[in-house]
Amino acid sequence: MVAIAPPTDVYASDTPDDGGGVVTIQWQLSPDDAYLDGYEIYRSEDNVDYERVGFIGKGRTMYEDETEDGTNYFYKIAALIDTMKVYSETSKPVMSSAQWIDRNKINIIIAIIIFGAFILYFTYHARKGKELYIRKIAGLQAIDDAIGRATEMGKPILYCPGIGYMEDIATIASLSILGEVAKKCAQYDTKLINPHVEPIVYTVAREIVKEAYTQAGRPDAFDPDSVYFITDLQFAYAAAVDGIMVRERPATNFLIGWFRAESLILAETGASTGAIQIAGTDQVSQLPFFVTACDYTLIGEELYAASAYISKEPILLGAIKGEDSGKLVIVGILIAASIIGLLTTLPILNLFR
Q: For the domain that residue 54 is a member of, what is the CATH number?
A: 2.60.40.10
**Residues 81 and 189 both lie in one domain:** no
Q: Which helix (H) or strand (E) holds 247?
A: helix 234-248
Considering its fold, how many domains does the chain have in total?
Answer: 2
Given a contact cutoff of 8 angstroms between Cβ atoms, the answer to whether 176 and 306 are in contact is: yes
| pLDDT, tens only, 255-310 | 999 999 999 999 999 999 999 999 999 899 999 999 999 999 988 778 888 777 77
Residue 134 one-letter amino acid: I
Does any domain span residue 198?
Answer: yes
**CATH code, 301:** 3.40.50.720
Judge if 165 and 311 occupy the same domain.
yes
- What pLDDT is recorded for position 347? 63
Give the pLDDT of residue 343.
Answer: 82
72 and 200 belong to one structural domain: no
Residues 152 and 233 in one domain: yes
Q: Would residue 129 count as lying in a domain? A: no
Q: Do 29 and 170 share a structural domain? A: no
Whether residues 271 and 211 fall in one domain: yes
- Poorest-pLDDT segment among 20-34, 134-148, 157-171: 134-148
User: Could you give the count of Cα atoms lying within 13 Å of 204 in the half-sphere of its Cβ?
Assistant: 16
Domain boundary among 45, 68, 87: 87
Q: Do 196 and 64 share a structural domain?
A: no
Predicted local confidence at residue 78, as pLDDT: 95
What local confidence, expressed as pLDDT, does residue 67 receive?
94
94 forms bridges with which residues in the sheet? 73
Give helix 314-345 / helix 301-311 axis angle, nearest 10°: 140
Are both 53 and 146 inside the same structural domain? no
Which DSSP state fits 102? -
Q: What is the mean pLDDT of residues 105-113?
A: 86
pLDDT > 90? residue 100: no
Each residue of 302-350: pLDDT tens digit?
Answer: 888 877 777 777 887 888 888 888 888 889 989 998 988 888 776 655 5
Residue 283 and residue 182 share a domain: yes
Same domain as 176, residue 69: no
Is residue 212 pLDDT above 90, yes or no? yes
61, pLDDT greater than 60: yes
Q: Which residue has the higher pLDDT, 145 or 25?
A: 25
Is the pLDDT reported for residue 195 higher than 90?
yes
Is there a contact between 297 and 139 (Cβ–Cβ < 8 Å)?
Answer: yes
Of residues 173, 167, 155, 182, the one with CA closest to residue 270: 155
* Assigned domain for 265 exists: yes
Note whether residue 154 is domain-resident.
yes
The upper half-sphere exposure of residue 12, i.e. CA atoms within 13 Å in the direction of its Cβ, equals: 25
Q: What is the pLDDT of residue 295?
A: 92
Position 99 pLDDT exceeds 90: no
Confidence of residue 2 (pLDDT cuts 50, 70, 90): low
N- to C-terminal Cα separation, the chain: 56
- Residue 130's pLDDT is what? 82
CB atoms within 10 A of CB 173: 25
Q: For residues 71 and 148, state if they share a domain.
A: no
Q: Quick one: the chain helix, strand, coil %, rounded to 5?
A: 50, 20, 30
**Is residue 332 included in any domain, yes or no?**
no
Query: Cβ neighbours of residue 29 under 8 Å, at least 6 residues apart?
Result: 7, 58, 59, 61
Please indicate, yes or no, if residue 249 is contained in any of the structural domains: yes
Q: Which amino acid is at 231?
A: T
Structural domain containing residue 187: 137-315
* Domain assignment present for 47: yes
User: Domain check: are 40 and 165 in the same one?
Assistant: no
37 lies in some domain? yes
